[in-house]
Structure formats: C-alpha cells, structure tokens
C-alpha cells in the first residue's frame, strides 16, 4: 500500500513540475497526444471490431489518453487504505501494477517532452527524442506492466465476488466523491468481460508494441 501511495506522489511531483513550466506542460501534452494518435492508428482494427472495441477504447482512453488524470489519481490516493481492507489481495496487486504503469508512463513522457524541440511534434522529433531518452529496460517494463494489467483484468472477469463488490461500492463511492475511480474500475472489468477471452487482443498489442520498441531503438 505504501508503494502505491509513493508512486502516486511521484506522479503528483511530475504534474507540479509541469505546472511550474508552461513550456514543459505544452510539450508533455504534445507527446501524449502523439502517442494517443499512434495507438489509435495501430489498433484501428481492434477499435472497429465489436468484440474488442470496449477493451481497446479502455486502453486508449484510460491508460494512454491525453487527459489529465489528476482528479482520478487524487481519488486513488484517498481510497487506497480503504481498498486494501475491502478488496482481495490479488485485486490490490492489479491496482499496484496499474499505478506502477501510470507512474512509469508519466516519467517517460516527461523525459520525452524535455528531449523534444520547441516546434510542433511530429514523427521525426518524436523518434529522435525516444532515442535520446533511451531506457530500453523501462520501455520493456512498461509493456510488460500493460500486459499484466490486461491479464489481471481478464482473470477478474471470472470473479463474481469482485463484480458484486464493485456494484455494492457504486453508491457509497459516488457519495464519497469517488465516482471517477469507481467508473474506471467498472469500465475495465466490463470491457474485458465483453471480450469473452483476451488472449488474441493482448497478443496483438504485445507483438505490435514489441516491434515498435525494437524498431525505434534500432534506428541510428
């Protein structure tokens, strides 16, 4: 639990640094929008397939979206002790992986933003910034965490207890001002339940993202 809260605190530090530097804030936004557009292009087929639309949209908007997740993160920080008492240990491991992915993504995005030039971001400066930042092990870990969250979500679709717990949490969560967090958890579970098996979906992401990472690091 302490590790989760520490990582959320780290994300908050990144946000404070951006708020103090409007140029950095703009560049981070440009990096996030570029990556969001790339994901939408690469996975257009998944987004268009009724079986995978909800899960692909969840990944696109909730994990790689350009939105500022400050409000959701604040809700997480407030409710983590309560979640640790209420939810099973394996669900909390999924939450820990999710927050680790979030913190790592924010850190890498901020480093990418610091490495790009002042002009509008397009393919060439993005790829150059990627190589300057480096950190191959962390890029591989970022992908591994994304896949782990997906596999954990799929596993929890078979848990009637979790679905029931989330339904019971809905009204108290909204009353406590935790509606965004509740919606996030329910959306992820619902998206993966509707797929009726996530193997092909996650395999497509794994193959494409690994290929993209290899290609970017192979460039000179």
The 3 state secondary structure assigned to the chain is CHHHHHHHHHHHHHHHHHHCCHHHHHHHHHHHHHHHHHHHHHCHHHHHCCCCHHHHHHHHHHHCCCCCCHHHHHHHHHHHHHHHHHCCHHHHHHHHHHHHHHHHHHHHHHHHHHHCCCCCCCHHHHHHHHHHHCCHHHHHHHHHHHHHHHHHHHHHCCCHHHHHHHHHHHHHHHHCCCHHHHHHHHHHHHHHHHHCCCHHHHHHHHHHHHHHHHHHHHCC
Say what the pLDDT of residue 204 is: 94
Say what the pLDDT of residue 121 is: 77
What is the tens place of the pLDDT at every residue in 22-76? 988 888 988 999 999 999 999 999 999 999 999 998 888 887 777 777 777 777 7
**Average pLDDT for 150-168:** 73
Model confidence band, residue 191 (pLDDT cutoffs 50, 70, 90): confident
pTM listed for this prediction: 0.85
**Average pLDDT for 183-210:** 85
Model confidence band, residue 11 (pLDDT cutoffs 50, 70, 90): confident
Q: Is the pLDDT of residue 219 over 90?
A: no
**Average pLDDT for 153-178:** 66
Say what the pLDDT of residue 91 is: 77
- Residue numbers of the domain that contains 179: 2-218
Say what the pLDDT of residue 4 is: 80
User: For the chain, how many structural domains are there in total?
Assistant: 1
What is the tens place of the pLDDT at every residue in 92-140? 788 888 889 989 999 999 999 999 876 667 888 888 889 899 899 999 9
């Amino acid at each position: 639990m302490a590790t989760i809260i520490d990582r959320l605190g780290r994300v908050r530090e990144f946000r404070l640094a951006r708020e103090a530097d409007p140029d950095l804030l703009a560049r981070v936004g440009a990096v996030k929008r570029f990556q969001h557009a790339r994901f939408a292009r690469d996975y257009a087929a998944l987004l268009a397939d009724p079986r995978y639309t909800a899960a692909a949209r969840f990944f696109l908007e909730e994990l790689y979206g350009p939105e500022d997740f400050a409000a959701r993160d604040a809700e997480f920080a407030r409710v983590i002790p309560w979640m640790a008492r209420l939810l099973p240990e394996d669900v909390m491991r999924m939450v820990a992986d999710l927050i680790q992915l979030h913190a790592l993504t924010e850190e890498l995005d901020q480093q990418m933003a610091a490495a790009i030039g002042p002009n509008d971001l397009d393919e060439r400066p993005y790829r150059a910034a990627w190589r300057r930042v480096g950190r191959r092990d962390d890029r591989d870990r970022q992908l591994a965490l994304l896949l782990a969250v997906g596999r954990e979500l799929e596993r929890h679709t078979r848990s009637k207890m979790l679905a029931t717990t989330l339904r019971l949490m809905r009204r108290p969560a909204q009353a406590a001002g935790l509606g965004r967090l509740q919606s996030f958890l329910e959306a992820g579970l619902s998206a993966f339940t509707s797929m009726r098996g996530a193997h092909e979906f996650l395999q497509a992401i794994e193959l494409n993202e690994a290929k993209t990472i290899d290609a970017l690091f192979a460039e000179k």
